[in-house]
Structures are given as structure tokens and as C-alpha cells.
Amino acid sequence: MPYLGSTPNASFSSRTKQDFTANGSTTAFTLSSAVASANDIEVFVGNVRQEPTDAYTVNGTTLTMSEAPATGMNFYVVFKQLEENSVVPADGTISSAKIAANAVTTAKITNANITQAKLASGVAGNGPSFSAYLNSNFSISNTTHTKLRFDAEEWDSDGCFDSTTNFRFTPNVAGYYMIGGHFQPNASYTVGTTTLYKNGNLYRVLHWNQQSETTPAPVGGTTLVHMNGSSDYVELYGYMTVGQQIQSGSEWTWFQGHMVRSA
């Protein structure tokens, strides 16, 4: 049946029933609720309804049977005027004010429903994190910004780092990320830089190093980057005035990042 306005709540009621244990000798029993007359209750012995005033009488909470029910007989009372009511609220009608404080616990919330968007400001949560490194021979071209090939992973919490094709980090949660990278030359050079590219464009110069020593100094740095959680990606590039092979290994040439807070 259609309604104007909100759909009314579904209401249900059921009569209260009280069971007794028959022993063949007891005739007086105590009711759980007082009644005014014998007609206010229905008494059943062996599932047969008894006649009020003839088979039983009542006085407040005392039920008196004219004959003691036999031992083991199914003996119970149904209160005609005492009902238990329950209401099923209509969809969308319960407000937060109707929920008791501390009634909702984490045991009632599945992990998948606790998203980054639901966390308070300043809580990082379990955002994406990765650590990759160069695990094979790789050379930076002479005076050319060269994307570094991080072909091995120490970890990649959400599968957001590509260590096989594009060697880039594309996080799947929007937020602010601390990104860092480093590479170790094998030979001396004049100028070396580490740069972070975002979506294919120069974003930050992490380190610009000019040296005159013969010992090759490492080149690296960190920065904070905002990522949209879908299409944004970052890559690490190296530049040297003297093209050369760089040192492989997780301790020498690495690329790392992790979310520090949500967007």
C-alpha cells in the first residue's frame, strides 16, 4: 500500500507466555505478572485450554488450579493483556543520536570499510609504501637526464611500483607522499644531479652536486609530493657530466616513498 511521506515503521507484538513445572501435587503457582481476573490469562494443561473460574482462579500473582496438574504435563499460561512489542524502523530513519555511546565497536566494522577518507586529519593510516633499487648493470648517458632503472623491490605494500617496465610509482590513494632517491657513481664527475619527475615532467631537483675530487660522491635527496591516487606517478632521473655505469645494490642506488597523510 502506498504512503504519503515516510514509510511507517513495521510493528509486531506477541503475547507473554509463562511455563510451570507440574508435579502432581502442587495447585498454587506464582504468576510473573499480576492479573485482575481469571479471564485475563489462558491456562493450558497438556496443551488443552482450561476453563476460567472452574479449572482455575487467580488472585493478583497467585494462580490456583482446582486440581494439581499431573507430573510431566505440559503446563503453561498465556497473558492476554500483557504483550511484548517490537518495532522495525523504516529505512533511513535512525539518527546517530539514537545510538548509545560506545555501542559501535571495531568488531562490527569490516577492515575494507575503514578507508583513508574516514580517518581523522593527521592520521596517515595504511597508505601505499615502496622501496626499490637497482639490481643490474645500468649506465647514465653523458650529459643526459636518464631515468633510473629500479628493477628490484624490497617491498611494495600495495603493488603501486612498476619494477619491470616503467620503473615508476603510481599510488592508489590520494595524499601527500615523501619521496626519496639516491644513486652512486663509479667514477669521478664534474656535475651530478638527482631529479624527480612527476607525470613525465621535472618536479624537483633533489640534489645538485658539483665536485672536483677524484672520489665519486653520491647524489640523492627527498621531497614531498601530492598525488591524486589514480593517474599521478613519479620517476627518478639521474644526470652526470661524465657518462658512466652506476653502482647497483639496495644500499647504493635506491628509490623509496610512502604516504605521510591523506589528501
**Domains of the chain, residue spans:** 14-87, 129-262
**Fold that domain 129-262 belongs to in CATH:** Jelly Rolls (2.60.120)
| Largest separation between any pair of C-alpha atoms in the chain | 118
Per-residue confidence (pLDDT) for residue 53, from 0 to 100: 93
Give the pLDDT score at 52: 94
Tell me the CA end-to-end span of the chain in Å, nearest whole number: 47
Question: Along the 263 residues of the chain, how does pLDDT read in single tens digits?
Answer: 555 555 555 555 567 899 999 999 999 999 998 888 999 999 999 999 999 999 999 999 999 999 999 999 999 999 987 665 566 677 777 888 888 888 888 787 887 777 766 776 666 667 899 999 999 999 999 899 999 999 999 999 999 999 999 999 999 999 999 999 999 998 888 888 999 999 999 999 999 887 766 678 888 899 999 999 999 999 999 998 888 999 999 999 999 999 998 87
| pTM of the predicted model as reported, rounded to 2 decimal places | 0.58
Give the list of residues 6+ apart from residue 59 with CB closer than 8 angstroms, or none: none
102: left (phi over 0), alpha (psi -120 to 50) or beta: left
Buried (b) or exposed (e) across 36-49, using 16+ Cβ within 10 A? eebebbbbbbeeee
Query: Of the candidates 126, 210, 208, 222, which has an alpha carbon nearest to the alpha carbon of residue 171?
Result: 126
HSE value, Cβ hemisphere, 13 Å, CA-based, for 56: 31
